[in-house]
Structure 1
Amino acid sequence: MPSYNTNARIARFALSTSAAVIGSLAAYWTLLATRQGHILFNARKRPVVHLSEDFSTYSHPVPGGMVRGYVYHPQGEAAVQDLFLYLAGRGEDVRVTAQALHWLPEGFGMAAINYRGVADSQGSPSEVASVADAEQFARHLRRAFPQARLHIVGRSLGTGVAIQLSARQPFESLQLVTPYDSMLEVAKKRFPLVPLSLLLRHRFNSIEHSKEVAAKTQVLLAERDDVVLHERSQKLIDAWPTPVSVKTVANSDHHNIMGLEETWLRLIDFALTSVLPEPMAA
């Protein structure tokens, strides 16, 4: 039979191991609580991306620096008839995504900003800040392109921003690429040991915000998606307050979907079909 000393050593080892695990969890939870904005948005600098003369630049001041954005108008500002306002996914540098814009036809342009702390934008990212910056950018676009029809395209994390923006301002259409019902539900999969219901501040409750959306809406799903599970997208679709068009992009996953021609063709087609015809003269 084991001696008293052996049992004592085993007990001390168990206690020390438990204390280490508890300490590690506490440190992990503290990091998530204090840095969750940067973690959620994957906020970090990116290498410089040089864009062509088809782009104009945008910026506005925020605490800690500037938010920066870009507008693509290859035929000139006056030629833009339909303008996509693109709200990016987690950690996405919109300057890189802009390299796929050769699929846009004549008369189309795209505008996008990098979230605070991401790529060349500065400041601290958050749900509130991302929506506020998108609102300010949209107001700028309406002034700069008064002749253009404005459409929102949100991708992944950006679908939560797009839905809140669409609930606050009128747009010709709203298109959501790999959307989710709430960030809380998505995060539970990634952080199963974290009490997210208590810690998560940036919840992006898209189901709740969708109640105020009136824009004609399309959802594009990836054929394979291990980041935003189809279950999470379907919860949002089922709760949507108006009819919604749902399409699946062939041969796509969560990461490559914005680099596929089919994605852009579907975005363009839906934007064009969403434009209301001009009323006939009396």
Structure 2
Amino acid sequence: MKKIKLAFILLALAYLAANIYLYTQQDSLIFKNEKAVKIELVNEKNIKEVTFKVEENINLYGKYKTSNKANAPLILYFGGSSSDITGFFNHTQDINDFNILGFNYRGFIDSQGSPSQNKIFKDALNIYDTYAKDKEVILIGKSLGTGVVSYLASKRKSKAIILITPYDSISAIAKGKYPIFPIDLLLEHKFESIKYIQNVTTPIALFEVKNDLVIKKQHFDNLKSNIKNIFSYEILEGVSHAKVMTHIDFEKKLKEILEKTKNSQ
């Protein structure tokens, strides 16, 4: 009986330790800023470096591509969990009828501070209100950034939304990975795209990676089934989640989707 009791105590302690680990390490599990690698800009034409002050002594680093076209719409881009926004500019070199703006999240390449869901959401609203207010805006997010865009789109006006490898929520993904733990109690950064997207009436385009090993199909499909206003849906094969923008057809398909937004009301 004493051995059984001891085993139970040890098991309970191990479970408690695992909960503590998940709670204290969630930032590094979600925001992989330490793994982000700085990317060199392939073509600097019409692209300038910009900084945006979000708090005292905290500036975000970004890039701004200006179109030669008068009154060009503005694309606001939000990247993934371990990315440098420069990569998006390298894969949109032929998109010249739009202004494009993107910032690295707090704590990511050349941006100061530390990331959290609430801080990223707050910064997204401030970026929109500073650069996009009263403009024709297209919101684009990749992976983690699709959660940011879903939130932003529920709070601000946009002409179209493009979600690249989106998910229903970080909470749902975590529950799938750690089913025996009380994720709702432990997780501070839930990124509940499925909650926010239901309040969005803007036309939405989706990019899915076939056999995505990061965003399981069930999480993509769950989000997709809750979107009523899909105007474009692309499935890319033979590419990984992280390398989706390197797909040979990515820029062409993105350009086609953006062309469709010009004709939408």
TM-score, length basis structure 1:
0.80
Q: What is the aligned partner in structure 2 of residue 58 from structure 1?
A: 51
The 1:267–1:96 alpha-carbon spacing in structure 2 relative to 1, beyond 3 Å, is: closer
**Which position in structure 2 is the counterpart of 1:3?**
none
What SS does structure 2 have at the residue aligned with 1:224?
A: coil
Residue 210 of structure 2: SS of its match in structure 1? strand
Query: Residues of 2 paired with 1:132 and 1:36: CA distance?
Result: 20
Distance 1:277 1:193 in 2: 46
Percent identity, please: 24
For residue 170 of structure 1, report the CA deviation from its aligned partner.
1.1
Aligned partners of 2:114, 2:56: CA distance in 1, in Å? Answer: 8
SS in 1 for 2:109: coil
1:36 matched to which residue of 2?
A: 26
**Cα distance in 2 for residues equivalent to 1:98 and 1:105:** 9
Name the count of aligned residue pairs.
262
Evaluate the alpha carbon distance shift between residue 111 and residue 20 of structure 1 in structure 2; reply closer, same or farther with a 3 A threshold: farther
Show the counterpart of 2:63: 70
Give the stretch that moved more between structures: 207-216 or 252-261: 252-261
Q: For 1:244 and 1:28, how far apart are their aligned partners in 2? A: 43
**2:48 maps to amino acid:** F
Check 1:21–1:92 CA distance in 2 against 1; reply closer, same or farther (3 A cut).
farther
Q: How does 1:259-270 map to 2 (within 5 A)?
A: 259-270=246-257
Residue identity matched to 2:111: S
Determine whether 1:209 maps to 2:200. Answer: no
Unaligned runs of 5+ in 1: 1-6
Kept after mapping to 2: 8 A contact 1:64/1:124: no
1:79-105 Cα shifts (integer Å, max 9, x gaps): 572332111111212124433232x33
Query: Deviation digits for residues 53-100 of structure 1, max 9, x if unmatched?
Result: 622312213366222221123x56x65723321111112121244332
Structure 1 pair 66/232, CA: closer, same or farther in 2 (3 Å)? Answer: same
2:214: which partner in 1? 227
1:213 Cα shift?
Answer: 0.8
1:126-275 to structure 2, matched below 5 A, reads 126-142=116-132, 149-275=136-262
CA–CA separation in structure 2 for the residues paired with 1:79 and 1:50: 28
1:121, 1:24 → 2: CA distance? 37
Distance 2:57 2:12 in 1: 35
Instruction: Give the whole-Å Cα distance in 1 for the aligned partners of 2:197 and 2:24.
Output: 28
Question: What one-letter code is carried by the residue in structure 2 that aligns with 1:164?
Answer: Y
Q: CA deviation at 1:276?
A: 3.9
1:23 positional shift: 4.0
**CA contact 2:59–2:111 (8 Å) conserved in 1:** yes
Higher radius of gyration, 1 or 2 = 1
Deviation string for 1:156-197 (max 9, x for gaps)?
111111011111111121011111111111122333443212
Residue matched to 1:95: 86
Quote the offset at 1:244 in angstroms: 4.3
SS at match of 2:90: helix
